[in-house]
Amino acid sequence: MAQDNVDVIETAYSAFAKGDIESVLEFFSDSAEIVVPESLPWGGTYEGPEGMRTFLAKALEYYTDFKAVPQKVLGADDNHVIVVARNSGRTKSGTRVDQEVVWIYQLRDGAITSAHFFADTVAVNEALG
């Protein structure tokens, strides 16, 4: 099961890299909880695929260019996958961003039921101006 969950997350990141947000959303359960630090302008708790859509839309509106590339995708146990990713891009104010972040995903039956984001939010906010 752990490898299946790793495959789900890797496939979702691949879809995101291609700009295929609709495919990304298909991996989230209707009750999935997406938690992002409140200190970010797009921070908060979002629910389900539509919540993930809202989160992505809010976050991406601050960037002219953005990439999230997984560096490590680790099956922590039968239900959790940890992703260490490199987020890079350029903010609308022109500042270059390049940062390592961590996502912790919980999955059940091949669907993401929770996603928690961890990053240096001070650095992100400074880059946003």
Fold of 2-128: Nuclear Transport Factor 2; Chain: A, (3.10.450)
Inform me whether the pLDDT recorded for 1 exceeds 80. Answer: no
Inform me whether the pLDDT recorded for 2 exceeds 90. Answer: no
- In the three-class reduction of DSSP (H, G, I as helix; E, B as strand; rest coil), residue 77 is classed as coil
Distance between CA atoms of 88 and 35, rounded to whole angstroms?
20
Distance between CA atoms of 68 and 52, rounded to whole angstroms?
15
In this structure, of 2-6, 32-36, 93-97, 107-111, the range with the lowest mean pLDDT score is 2-6
Query: What pLDDT shows up at residue 16?
Result: 97
End-to-end CA separation in angstroms for the chain: 43
Residue-range domain boundaries for the chain: 2-128
In this structure, of 3-7, 29-33, 81-85, 96-100, the range with the lowest mean pLDDT score is 3-7
Q: Are strands 28-36 and 111-118 parallel, antiparallel or unpaired?
A: parallel
Q: What global pTM score does this model have?
A: 0.94
